[in-house]
């Protein structure tokens, strides 16, 4: 999906760039040499491990750098090595890019008068409700009409938080008097279809993927969605706190096993120093990362962009910006 409607791509680049500052400074320190030797690559390996790349993958990456250095006749200075590392990171992250064009797919649904329900799941405090607030703004800027479904019926304060995001977006928040989240989702879907809303973002209570009862509850919501809008592609997006680091990989895996996850949204990228877990994720996951949240403001969300992240890690200017 293109972010071209945003007032400044540079602002977005800057915020992701800023998020990666700590890791970048460390990488740049290693590569600030005219000759990169094995010792320097070992330093890099350690930095990668500390950023949650995982020891096995970190070793593979430094080995790959060595190999690529040997394959080129060029000098092996910091500048060349930086480019090699950037290329390796980009190649890995590219595997996590969505092959689907969300905007086109949503437009098609709109033309066919189909509602796009999107189920948002994740553990407590990962940023689900905040992300929904940001996505509502994002999709509205692409001229889709959006409504929010309050299906976190667990906490009394949950609805208030969602209603606040609804107000910020000047859109409707569909609440239900029933306690059963699946029934609440059903009502919200019916109401949205009646109003010909384009996209319905369904907020849910946080839960751990190993909690059987709560996962059953999600499955029930999914069944309700399927029945109510059987022609639409099923979209279940997991919201992951980027500070979770490498545990995020197993968290996603567990959720995926329990319910079919179709997209990942990273949040709190602004505070993370564990960005290396993305590299691990790229080795294990084939679920695309759709968006990256990087702050608490409504516009603090960007498309997942490997070029910007790779540049932010190694400290070169991203191409095409």
C-alpha span between 74 and 18 (Å, rounded): 31
Shortest approach of ligand GDP to residue 300 CB, angstroms?
6
DSSP, collapsed to helix, strand or coil, labels residue 132 as: helix
Shortest approach of ligand GDP to residue 160 CB, angstroms?
11
Which residue lies nearer to ligand GDP by CB, 126 or 236? 126
Which residue lies nearer to ligand GDP by CB, 18 or 283? 18
C-alpha span between 117 and 198 (Å, rounded): 9
Shortest approach of Mg ion to residue 126 CB, angstroms?
9
Shortest approach of ligand GDP to residue 193 CB, angstroms?
25
Q: Which does residue 315 bind out of ligand GDP, Mg ion, none, counting CB within 5 to 8 angstroms by kind? A: none
> What's the Rg (C-alpha) of the chain?
21
Shortest approach of ligand GDP to residue 121 CB, angstroms?
9
Q: What is the DSSP string of 89-110?
A: HHHHHHTTS-SS-HHHHHHHHH
Q: Does 129 engage in binding with Mg ion (CB under 5 A)? A: yes
Our measurement of the distance from residue 318's CA atom to the centroid of its chain's CA atoms, rounded to an integer in Å, reads 20
Which residue lies nearer to ligand GDP by CB, 16 or 44? 16
Contacts of 281 by beta carbon, 8 Å cutoff, 6+ apart: 96, 248, 249, 252, 264, 289
Q: Which does residue 235 bind out of ligand GDP, Mg ion, none, counting CB within 5 to 8 angstroms by kind? A: none
Size of the site for Mg ion (CB under 5 A): 2
303 bridge partner residues: 291
Contacts of 47 by beta carbon, 8 Å cutoff, 6+ apart: 23, 26, 27, 30
Shortest approach of ligand GDP to residue 239 CB, angstroms?
6
C-alpha span between 291 and 135 (Å, rounded): 9
Strand 235-241 vs strand 116-121: parallel, antiparallel, or unpaired?
parallel
Which residue lies nearer to ligand GDP by CB, 54 or 293? 293
Q: Which does residue 270 bind out of Mg ion, ligand GDP, none, counting CB within 5 to 8 angstroms by kind? A: ligand GDP
| Footprint of ligand GDP (CB under 6 A) | 122, 124-130, 206, 239, 267-268, 270-271, 293-296, 300
Interface residues toward Mg ion, by CB under 5 A: 128-129
């Amino acid at each position: 999906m293109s972010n071209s409607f945003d007032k400044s791509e540079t602002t977005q680049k800057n915020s992701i760039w800023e998020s990666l500052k700590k890791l970048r400074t460390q990488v740049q320190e290693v590569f600030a040499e005219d000759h990169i030797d094995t010792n320097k690559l070992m330093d890099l390996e350690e930095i990668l491990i500390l950023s949650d790349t995982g020891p096995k993958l970190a070793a593979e990456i430094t080995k790959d750098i060595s190999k690529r250095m040997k394959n080129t006749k060029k000098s092996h200075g910091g500048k060349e090595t930086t480019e090699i590392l950037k290329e390796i990171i980009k190649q890995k992250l590219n595997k996590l890019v969505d092959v689907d064009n969300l905007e086109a797919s949503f437009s098609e649904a709109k033309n066919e008068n189909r509602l796009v329900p999107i189920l948002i799941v994740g553990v407590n405090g990962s940023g689900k409700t905040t992300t929904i607030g940001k996505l509502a703004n994002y999709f509205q800027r692409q001229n889709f009409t959006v409504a929010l479904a309050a299906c976190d019926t667990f906490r009394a304060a949950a609805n208030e938080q969602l209603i606040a995001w609804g107000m910020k977006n000047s859109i409707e928040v569909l609440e239900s008097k029933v306690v059963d989240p699946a029934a609440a989702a059903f009502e919200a879907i019916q109401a949205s279809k009646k109003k010909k809303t384009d996209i319905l973002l369904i907020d849910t209570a946080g839960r751990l993927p190993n909690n059987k009862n709560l996962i059953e509850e999600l499955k029930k919501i999914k069944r309700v969605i399927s029945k109510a809008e059987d022609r639409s592609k099923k979209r279940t997006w997991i919201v992951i706190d980027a500070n979770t680091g490498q545990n995020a990989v197993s968290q996603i895996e567990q959720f995926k096993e329990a319910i079919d996850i179709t997209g990942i949204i990273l949040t709190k990228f602004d505070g993370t120093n564990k960005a290396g877990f993305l590299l691990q994720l790229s080795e294990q996951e084939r679920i695309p990362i759709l968006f990256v949240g990087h702050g608490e403001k409504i516009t603090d969300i960007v498309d997942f962009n490997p070029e910007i992240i790779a540049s932010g890690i190694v400290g070169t200017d991203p191409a095409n910006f």
